Structure 1
Amino acid sequence: MKTNSELKNRAIDALTGNWGLGAVITLVYGLVMNTPTLPYRIMESVASSSFSLIALLLLPLGFGYTVLFLDVIRGIKLDFARLFDGFKDYGRILGTMLLTTVYTFLWTLLLVIPGIMKSYSYAMTLFILKDYPELQYNAAIEKSMAMMSGHKMKMFLLDLSFIGWAILCCFTLGIGFLFLAPYVEASHAAFYEDLKKELGESVEAISE
């Protein structure tokens, strides 16, 4: 596979000319996903909840936000409307995302480290949902696990490399995160593309 530096450079190249729109999409995504919980924060009993039903139903926005940066990596111009692609196949997307959330939560109940490891095992699931419309639920998750076998540490180190930027963003009143998030997402998409290319036919065989 390419080095993490090469993957990040590919993300930067793909985002050239798309940084502004990427920041706007990130802002809208963040506002939509957080706004439903605002009324509940007024009430102490509900403020302690980790998520609301509305936020849960909006999970497919996360799919749209992730895969639109995959399009960018593939040379497709960033399109705001793609943020809502998850609602075009709502049941499949929501059901699979709920499963990954539940599985990660259950593993985290055991210990934090196993939970983190499993989250990396499931990291390719949304990309797989986009590229393989015939896969859903456990089939998509299992394909992600197969792809990430032996590659979780590499992706962890990729994420770790953004810590410096994240610290700097804290000094921008959060504005910097509007640009950092697209950078991270595009890097993840580049990781997926490179991993998929490396595994090739072997991944197809595992998923069948």
Structure 2
Amino acid sequence: MFCRECGNKMKEGAVFCPKCGTAVKEESEANFKKGASDFLGNMNTKFEELKKDQASSLQIEEHHGINVTRKELKELAQRKLSGKFGQWSVTLIWMFVIVIALILVAVLTGIKGSEASFFGNSFVGFIWGLIAFIAVIATLLVLILGNAVIEWCAINTLYDRKVDGKRIYYYFIRSEKNRVLLANILVGIFTFLWTLLFIIPGIIKGASYSMTNYLMERDRTLSANQAIKLSRQLMHGYKLEYLILNYSFFFWRVAMSVTNGLVFFYVGPYQAVTRMAFFDKIYDYYLEKNHEAL
């Protein structure tokens, strides 16, 4: 270190020059404060830029294109459901019975398999375990297709058609081959993987894929991947409104928990038809835009 006045070499940390007596501490502190101020200023600028970038990337697109309120959608759903809760109840009951039966088969065969293995009969234990595994897979497939059945029943309700979940379920198996099943499995996998990144991305992506079953019913030429891709495209700008619409049924869900799920026979169809009415508005707007473009 050298003195700024006479150029004399000084020891590190010296307060005064031993030759001319010039103070050096004040200059060091001033330089330190200036450097610290510049550093903090740069950090603050970078932080503000980062906040803007993140806010932009997490922002859900502005709602546009349809002029309808949640109240109007719910009123429409209630009108369409009038006189059809009996049909819905038949569908929900047989789906519930099938799921319970498969769960019981899985549990009982699993117990049988464990008992057989415990007493040394490994082959019999393996057979029972295999049956239990098949029952678990069948339960998952029924639940996955059950969601599609409910949404297709809601579309039939919206268009004043008969609600027959059993017929729709058979149609999935016999005529649709693996189209609907594959689409719902892919949606489940994609949503789960996005959820692993944190909960919020999974919720937003779930909203993006939410029109998949609706689109597959409206256009039965769509493949699973095409329906998922089109759902993402159509839900661009409507995800926030969709989430708000879903959570507007919060107190109905509380009522379901209090009544051990009995209220689901009312609120399940009510919520499903309301969602399909919302999708119907988006799809009509999409068709109108495409027609104008042509």
Provide the TM-score with structure 1 as the length reference.
Answer: 0.86
Aligned to 1:9: 75
Q: 2:89, 2:182 → 1: CA distance?
A: 28
Aligned to 2:156: 71
Q: 1:128, 1:203 → 2: CA distance?
A: 16
Cα distance, 1:81–1:146 mapped onto 2, change above 3 Å: same
Q: Give per-residue Cα distances to partners, 1:28-70, cap 9 Å, x unaligned.
A: 2233234423344465999xx9x93112333333322211110
Residue of 92, 99, 109 corresponding to 1:33 = 99
Cα distance, 1:116–1:41 mapped onto 2, change above 3 Å: farther
Indicate conservation of the 8 Å contact 2:92/2:265, yes or no.
yes
Per the TM alignment, residue 170 of structure 1 is displaced from its structure 2 partner at its CA by: 2.7
Cα distance, 1:78–1:139 mapped onto 2, change above 3 Å: same
**Are residue 142 (structure 1) and residue 142 (structure 2) matched?**
no
C-alpha RMSD of the superposition: 2.5
Aligned to 2:250: 163
Cα distance, 1:192–1:55 mapped onto 2, change above 3 Å: same
Counterpart code for 1:69? A
Per the TM alignment, residue 204 of structure 1 is displaced from its structure 2 partner at its CA by: 8.4
> Does 1 or 2 have the higher relative contact order (CA < 8 Å, sep 6+)?
1
Counterpart code for 1:32? I
Q: 2:145, 2:291 → 1: CA distance?
A: 25
**Are residue 99 (structure 1) and residue 165 (structure 2) matched?**
no
Indicate conservation of the 8 Å contact 1:26/1:182, yes or no.
no
Structure 2: 5+ residue runs without aligned partners? 1-65, 115-128
Cα distance, 1:164–1:204 mapped onto 2, change above 3 Å: farther
Aligned to 2:240: 153
Which stretch has the larger CA shift, 196-205 or 100-109?
A: 196-205
Provide the TM-score with structure 2 as the length reference.
Answer: 0.62
Cα distance, 1:160–1:95 mapped onto 2, change above 3 Å: same
Q: Which of the two has higher C-alpha Rg?
A: 2
Per the TM alignment, residue 178 of structure 1 is displaced from its structure 2 partner at its CA by: 1.4
Q: 1:82, 1:67 → 2: CA distance?
A: 11
Bigger share in helix:
1
Structure 1: 5+ residue runs without aligned partners? none
Q: 1:56, 1:172 → 2: CA distance?
A: 25
Q: 1:91, 1:80 → 2: CA distance?
A: 18
Aligned length: 202
Aligned to 1:123: 210
Residue of 132, 145, 160 corresponding to 2:219 = 132
Indicate conservation of the 8 Å contact 2:91/2:166, yes or no.
no
